[in-house]
A and B are shown apart, each in its own frame.
Chain A
Amino acid sequence: MSNDREAILGRVRQALAPLPTRAAAPDWERELVLMRHARGAVDAPALFAERLRLVNGTPIASVEELVALFVSSGWRRGYCDPALAARLRPAFPAEIVFETEFDRTRVDDYQFGITAAVGAIAETGTVILNDAATSRRLAALAPWVHVAVVPRRSIHVDLPEAVAALGGDPNIIWCTGPSKTADVEGILIEGVHGPGVQIALLVD
């Protein structure tokens, strides 16, 4: 394998040696990727909610509203990040069961997963999860319903801003609406491997 390394790098150098000059790295201004609607002052939480709806996600502004949705949808059992459970549990009726451990051998028993997001992107309706903030990767992915708890102050306006804030976590994932496919005849179907319902609960 180390021979392959030397062989590849040697061939790369040989291939590039005849070039009289090398193309320079161009710089570009953030202005270039600003979307038309995002010019001027932006209310990030409002834009985030609007954009999340466009990708069939569900923005929710208060815990009461979340409880009402759970009750009306019949979601009874799921996972909740232990730190969030302490805060959210009292608002939920007793028949809705929060488990604070995620047992991967019972993956189909969890109708929902409630985990913390580290941020969001307004212009795309994206929630941002990472290894430090999100207690279980599986709990945010395998259940049919995922609730990401997003602090309002953590919402970035656009992609360049979110890229600049990536930071040092080894695994960051941007989730933009429910999991989906159009592989069969181009027909959109939601909930392929990940959640079929993606909720963002905005908190202060």
Chain B
Amino acid sequence: MKFQQIDEYAARLRPETKASVHSGSKAGHEKRTKVLFDHFIDPDRLRRIAGDIKQHVVENLDTYLPAVEAKLRANGVHVHWAATAEAANEAVYSILQARGARRMVKAKTMVSEETELGRFLEKRGVECVETDLGEFIVQIDGDHPSHIVKPIIHKNRREIATSFERHGLGAYNDDPETITRRARVHLRHKYLEADVGLTGANFVVAESGRIVLVTNEGNSRFCLAATKCHIAMVGIEKILPRDRDLGLLLNLLARSGTGQQLTVYTEFISGPRGPAQPDGPEEMHVVFVDNGRTDVLASECRDILRCIRCGACLNVCPVYRQASGHAYRSVYPGPVGAVLSPLLAGERFPAMADLPKASSLCGACNEVCPVNIPIPDLLLRLREKGKREGSDAAAAGTPAMGGWAVMASQPFAWKAALAGGRIMNVLPTKYVPVAALQAWQSRRTLPTWRGGTFRTWLHDRRKQQSQAGSAAPRN
């Protein structure tokens, strides 16, 4: 039997990477649970209502998108639309060209990872610097983030120190504080020299046209304090109906993602800088990106568009903890990625159709999700789609079920198989010609065989009961 790609990847993973990912995600999950239940009387109700709000948005995007566009324009923001990754990158590039901009600083945005904006701009001679510490390390390593909120969860301090030394950021030193100070010194001059700051958005509020950004390091704030032009790349599903809904969603986002009550910086941007403010962008652009989202919206799995990218489902997932994020071969790892990545892959769906199988369907991802996405249900729908489309990737790791189907539908074959199965009661495990069974049984002992079969037992019991019933005394 062929193994799934994710199993093969996990088997090759270096023990220290596995240890970093396992301890990092476990700690994140434990902090989340503690802070939510310590703070709130009924955190599950918060999640369900937040999920209902986002589902409402997803199912009414046809009215919300034009509404938010109108609001942004009224606030003095330029609005752009990009159907594909290439269109999104081109939209950003044309804004830079119009300003004659050669240098860009960039805060962490997952949608720009989807479109590979950094590589696109570098090829065109634009310096594009990642400013989130983790993303900066990913960039100087030519690597990819392996977690939605902790991009370098797969690296340890020694690897980071080596990268810093190679990149000319001082002699080898693996003290996390020294690493952070060196990044501070290096990056603050990058902000001050840059022409444009690019960010994503955690939420865009339809009612007010506010873009909400959350960070801990203050890097997106520095982008918006030092540069004269702000570009926000935003997935079309990021909308919230009203400002007041932020009171609920912000209470859930940081707690779910990092176990914090609130991230250090929560920024609300509704346009270019105020009239009395000398610092910050005089020009603001929002690029709404589709890149496969409307296909997700048309599918049976549209609920995944509720996702607010907190990473809680990664941290709790037993498969993610063993396999790490790169095993998912896409921008979004973990349970959310197992649903979203094959859907966003479009025509490449069959090649990614093994991902929905990388789950034991234990349901923990659904239980921790701040917007209550029924991830296990969506995984099952995608497994069915993979099977229907005859994907080889979807079949990997699945035993052939043809023989089973014949046996289970013919009473004679079924009874013969059951009779054959009784041999298991007397045959020592080492003689059983099935490797998986031997592995399972080698450390376990079967209970002592006490004779009889279930069918015989049931038949006898019914007989006894009917006799007992007729013999009972009558009133």
Q: Are A192 and B274 within 8 A (Cβ)?
A: no
The complex places the Cα of A69 from the Cα of B331 at a distance, in Å, of 46
The complex places the Cα of A4 from the Cα of B295 at a distance, in Å, of 15
- Whether A179 sits at the interface, judged by CB under 8 Å, is yes
Q: Are B225 and A12 within 8 A (Cβ)?
A: no
Q: Are B266 and A173 within 8 A (Cβ)?
A: yes
Using known A-B contacts A171-B268, A171-B274, A180-B216, determine if residue A185 contacts B157 with beta carbons closer than 8 Å.
Answer: yes
Q: Are A166 and B81 within 8 A (Cβ)?
A: no
Cβ of A5: which chain B residues have Cβ within 8 Å of it? 81
The complex places the Cα of A4 from the Cα of B91 at a distance, in Å, of 11
Instruction: Tell which of B222, B261, B271 touches A124, judged by Cβ atoms closer than 8 Å.
Output: B261
Q: Which residue of A lies closest to B288 (CB)?
A: A8
- Whether A174 sits at the interface, judged by CB under 8 Å, is yes
Cβ of B81: which chain A residues have Cβ within 8 Å of it? 1-2, 4-5, 8
- Whether B52 sits at the interface, judged by CB under 8 Å, is yes
Q: Are A136 and B279 within 8 A (Cβ)?
A: yes
B residues 182-200 near A (Cβ < 8 Å) are 183-184, 187-188, 191-192
Q: Are B270 and A170 within 8 A (Cβ)?
A: yes
Cβ of B221: which chain A residues have Cβ within 8 Å of it? 137, 141, 173, 193-194
B residues 266-322 near A (Cβ < 8 Å) are 266-274, 276-280, 288, 290, 294-295, 297-298, 302
Instruction: Tell which of B83, B216, B241 touches A25, judged by Cβ atoms closer than 8 Å.
Output: B241
Cβ of B184: which chain A residues have Cβ within 8 Å of it? 191-193
- Whether B87 sits at the interface, judged by CB under 8 Å, is yes
Using known A-B contacts A107-B192, A136-B278, A184-B179, determine if residue A174 contacts B40 with beta carbons closer than 8 Å.
Answer: no
Q: Which residue of A lies closest to B289 (CB)?
A: A8
- Whether A22 sits at the interface, judged by CB under 8 Å, is yes
- Whether B150 sits at the interface, judged by CB under 8 Å, is yes
Contact with B along A6-24 (1 / 0, CB 8 A): 0111011111100100111
Q: Are B39 and A173 within 8 A (Cβ)?
A: no
Q: Which residue of A lies closest to B87 (CB)?
A: A4
Cβ of A25: which chain B residues have Cβ within 8 Å of it? 53, 56, 241
Q: Are A186 and B27 within 8 A (Cβ)?
A: yes
Q: Which residue of A lies closest to B221 (CB)?
A: A141
Instruction: Tell which of A12, A23, A189 touches B297, judged by Cβ atoms closer than 8 Å.
Output: A12
Q: Are A163 and B243 within 8 A (Cβ)?
A: yes
The complex places the Cα of A134 from the Cα of B211 at a distance, in Å, of 20
- Whether B347 sits at the interface, judged by CB under 8 Å, is no
**11 A-B contact pairs sorted by A residue (CB < 8 Å):** A8-B294, A11-B298, A16-B61, A24-B56, A26-B53, A32-B45, A32-B49, A33-B46, A171-B273, A187-B176, A191-B180
Q: Which residue of B lies closest to A195 (CB)?
A: B218
Q: Which residue of A lies closest to B302 (CB)?
A: A15
Q: Which residue of A lies closest to B46 (CB)?
A: A32
Instruction: Tell which of B38, B56, B217 touches A180, judged by Cβ atoms closer than 8 Å.
Output: B217
What number of A-B contacts does a CB cutoff of 8 Å give?
A: 254
The complex places the Cα of A179 from the Cα of B267 at a distance, in Å, of 14
Q: How large is the interface on B (under 10, 10 to 19, 20 to 34, 35 or more residues)?
A: 35 or more
Cβ of A8: which chain B residues have Cβ within 8 Å of it? 65, 81, 83, 236, 288, 290, 294
Q: Are B264 and A104 within 8 A (Cβ)?
A: no
Minimum-distance CB pairs A-B, first 4 = A194-B218, A131-B274, A15-B298, A160-B247
- Whether B351 sits at the interface, judged by CB under 8 Å, is no
The complex places the Cα of A4 from the Cα of B265 at a distance, in Å, of 33
Q: Are B248 and A33 within 8 A (Cβ)?
A: yes
Cβ of A170: which chain B residues have Cβ within 8 Å of it? 75, 269-274
Instruction: Tell which of A126, A179, A182 touches B262, judged by Cβ atoms closer than 8 Å.
Output: A126
Q: Which residue of A lies closest to B134 (CB)?
A: A183
Q: Which residue of A lies closest to B296 (CB)?
A: A15
Using known A-B contacts A4-B81, A9-B66, A33-B46, determine if residue A192 contacts B268 with beta carbons closer than 8 Å.
Answer: no
Q: Which residue of B lies closest to A25 (CB)?
A: B56
The complex places the Cα of A185 from the Cα of B42 at a distance, in Å, of 32
Cβ of B38: which chain A residues have Cβ within 8 Å of it? 36
Cβ of B217: which chain A residues have Cβ within 8 Å of it? 179-181, 192-194
Q: Which residue of A lies closest to B230 (CB)?
A: A171
Q: Are A13 and B244 within 8 A (Cβ)?
A: no
Q: Are A176 and B262 within 8 A (Cβ)?
A: yes
Interface residues of A (CB under 8 A from B): 1-2, 4-5, 7-9, 11-16, 19, 22-26, 28, 30, 32-33, 35-36, 55, 104, 107-108, 123-124, 126, 130-132, 134, 136-138, 141-142, 159-160, 163-164, 166, 168-187, 189, 191-195
Interface residues of B (CB under 8 A from A): 20, 23-24, 27, 38-42, 45-46, 49, 52-53, 55-56, 58-62, 65-66, 75, 80-83, 87, 91, 131-134, 137, 150-152, 156-157, 160, 176-177, 179-181, 183-184, 187-188, 191-192, 208, 210, 216-219, 221-222, 224-226, 236, 241, 243-244, 246-248, 250-251, 258, 261-274, 276-280, 288, 290, 294-295, 297-298, 302
Q: A13-B62, A193-B184 are in contact. List 17 more A-B contacts (CB 8 A).
A: A8-B290, A28-B49, A32-B42, A35-B40, A107-B192, A141-B221, A142-B188, A160-B247, A163-B244, A164-B243, A170-B274, A171-B273, A174-B265, A176-B266, A184-B157, A187-B176, A192-B219
Using known A-B contacts A19-B59, A160-B244, A193-B131, determine if residue A131 contacts B294 with beta carbons closer than 8 Å.
Answer: no
Q: Are B258 and A163 within 8 A (Cβ)?
A: no
Q: Are A175 and B264 within 8 A (Cβ)?
A: yes
The complex places the Cα of A14 from the Cα of B295 at a distance, in Å, of 10
B277 CB to closest chain A CB (Å) equals: 4
Q: Are A1 and B59 within 8 A (Cβ)?
A: no
Q: Are A189 and B176 within 8 A (Cβ)?
A: yes
A168 CB to closest chain B CB (Å) equals: 8
The complex places the Cα of A72 from the Cα of B318 at a distance, in Å, of 50
Instruction: Tell which of B210, B225, B250 touches A137, judged by Cβ atoms closer than 8 Å.
Output: B225
Cβ of B270: which chain A residues have Cβ within 8 Å of it? 168, 170-171
Cβ of A9: which chain B residues have Cβ within 8 Å of it? 62, 65-66
Q: Are B277 and A131 within 8 A (Cβ)?
A: yes
Using known A-B contacts A12-B61, A171-B280, A182-B258, determine if residue A192 contacts B247 with beta carbons closer than 8 Å.
Answer: no
Q: Are B176 and A185 within 8 A (Cβ)?
A: yes
Cβ of A137: which chain B residues have Cβ within 8 Å of it? 221, 224-225, 273, 277, 279-280
